[in-house]
Amino acid sequence: MSMKGFDHGNRGIGIRNHQLILPSVVCSTRVSSRIAKEMDAITFAHQHGCGFIGNDVGRITDFFAALANHPNVSSTLVVGLGCETLQGNELAAKLLSKNKSTNYLVTQESGGVQGTVNSGVAAATELKAKYPTPQVVLPRLHLGIDLSDDNIKVDEIVSALTEVGVDITVAASHKNSGLNFSDLMEAGVHVILSFPDRNQPPSGFPLIPTINVASGSPLHTAISQDFDLSADSSPEEIMEKINSVVNGELTKVEAIGAGEIIAGREVRSV
């Protein structure tokens, strides 16, 4: 495989060149989406960052830090509200200790919604200009496999990929693709090959292209158009699809901008 990569410094070499607008709290998801739209950057809605306690504060902070440090990220703008539990400036400081291409701003100190959108677009534009991304050859691909459907056997494709030098992490701890995606993100995989449960639709994750492989289930057969690969795909076909996606082809969920994050929580919200 010849693979195009983007040199993202300390974040590593990625296969996508995404700027991340990271809302550190649910209250700034709308402002973040407005900034992201202007910048053609990636963001996502979530319900975390405040009204939570105990281990979850550290857990979600680490989750967001792992997202921002992902190799597919070119630069990160953290957008906070100001009074939340998970303080955006502390998250940004944590990120900055590893990656200079990070900035943050806070709605309560930026003149409100429009003020934050304006400052956000300016800050994100500056990050892009200051940290250009050289195109390089990806030396080694790290593939994640979401095995929510434990009836699927992946030994054949795993050995074929290992043989051509692909690193593989398999996530099979959950019957839920979303939680498996989170584990794979934290492992730093470039791309995900997802085998969703037979009764689940294809789904995606922000920043990381997700290739969905159908099972032969009635649901998957009914919505076969929404899968990147059919149930009877050969290892060669799977490898060919991975190669195209790594080199820029959008997956089906990537093309429609789907990709919700499902971050696990230990404690009830307060």
Partner 1 sequence: MSKELTAFERSDGRWGLRNHVLILPLHSAFSATARKIADESNGAVAVSHDWSGEVDGDFDRIVKTISGFAANPNNFATIFITIGTPNELGIIELARKLGLSKAEVLNVAELGSMGKIAEIGLQMANSLLKEAKAVSRISAPWSAIKLGQECGGSDALSGITANPALGVASDRLVELGASSVLGETTEILGAEHLLAARAITPEIGARIVETVARYERSINYEGIDMRGAQPSRGNIEGGLTTLEEKSLGAAKKAGSAQFSGVFEFADQVTKPGLYFMDTPGHDTEQLTGYGAGGINIIVFTTGRGTPTGSAIVPTIKVATNTTMADAIPDLIDLNAGTIADGLKTLSDVGGELFDLILEVANGQLTKAEKGLHHEFSLSRMYNTIIR
Pick from 103, 202, 207, 214 the residue near partner 1 by CB under 8 A. 202
Dihedral angle at the C-alpha atoms of 115, 120, 125, 127, nearest 10 degrees?
Answer: 140
Query: Closest approach of Cβ 17 to partner 1, in Å?
Result: 21
3-state secondary structure at position 210: strand
Nearer to partner 1, 87 or 133 (CB): 87
Q: Is 262 in the site for partner 1 (CB under 8 A)?
A: yes
Q: Is 118 in the site for partner 1 (CB under 8 A)?
A: no
Q: Is 93 in the site for partner 1 (CB under 8 A)?
A: no
The set of long-range contacts for 254-259, using a CB threshold of 8 Å and a minimum separation of 24, is: 254/204, 254/209, 254/210, 258/203, 258/204, 259/44, 259/203, 259/204, 259/205, 259/206, 259/207, 259/210
Query: Closest approach of Cβ 235 to partner 1, in Å?
Result: 26
Nearer to partner 1, 166 or 208 (CB): 208
Pick from 178, 184, 190, 208 the residue near partner 1 by CB under 8 A. 178
Q: Is 10 in the site for partner 1 (CB under 8 A)?
A: no
Q: Which stretch binds partner 1 (CB under 8 A): 14-22, 43-51, 137-145, 234-242?
A: 43-51
Question: How many binding residues for partner 1 (CB under 8 A)?
Answer: 59
Query: Closest approach of Cβ 2 to partner 1, in Å?
Result: 31
CA proximity to 87, closest of 21, 18, 19, 28? 28
Nearer to partner 1, 79 or 189 (CB): 79
Q: Is 18 in the site for partner 1 (CB under 8 A)?
A: no
Backbone φ and ψ of 205, nearest 5°: -135, 145
Both ends of the chain: CA-CA distance in Å? 49
Pick from 77, 145, 193, 261 the residue near partner 1 by CB under 8 A. 261
For 120, half-sphere exposure in the C-beta direction (CA atoms, 13 angstrom radius) is 38
Q: Which residues of 115-130 are buried (b: 16+ CB within 10 A; e: fewer)?
A: ebbebbbebbeebbee
Pick from 47, 118, 125, 230 the residue near partner 1 by CB under 8 A. 47
Q: Is 175 in the site for partner 1 (CB under 8 A)?
A: yes
Query: Closest approach of Cβ 65 to partner 1, in Å?
Result: 18
- Tell me which residues in 52-91 interact with partner 1 (CB under 8 A): 52-54, 81-85, 87
From residue 191, give the alpha-carbon distance in Å to each of 52, 98, 166, 181, 225: 31, 22, 11, 10, 20
* Tokens read off for 211: 């290739």
Q: Is 146 in the site for partner 1 (CB under 8 A)?
A: no
